[in-house]
Amino acid sequence: MDELLEILQDLHPEVDYETCDTLIDDKILDSFDIVTIISEISENFDVVIPAEEIVPENFNSAQALYELIERLGDE
């Protein structure tokens, strides 16, 4: 989780990822950010997030994203 937060902080230092759960809905993360995050995740977690998992529910909060990584890593 800390590793993920670090990735996110890198992109938008001003956001409080611990509490924010509207990262997509409030357009804090745009498509460029998402792609950057996914490539970072594949680099650091060895998890590939496929295109069909790019939905607001998975990216709205750091927590949701972390759960996604765990789920995909499990499979």
Q: Which residues bind other proteins (CB under 8 A)?
A: 27, 30-32, 34-36, 38-40, 42-43, 48-52, 54-55, 75
Please name the amino acid found at residue 73. G
Shortest Å distance, C-beta 32 to other proteins: 5
Beta-carbon contacts of residue 34 (< 8 Å; ≥ 6 apart): 54, 59
Shortest Å distance, C-beta 53 to other proteins: 9
Shortest Å distance, C-beta 17 to other proteins: 19
Contact 33, 48 (CB under 8 A): no
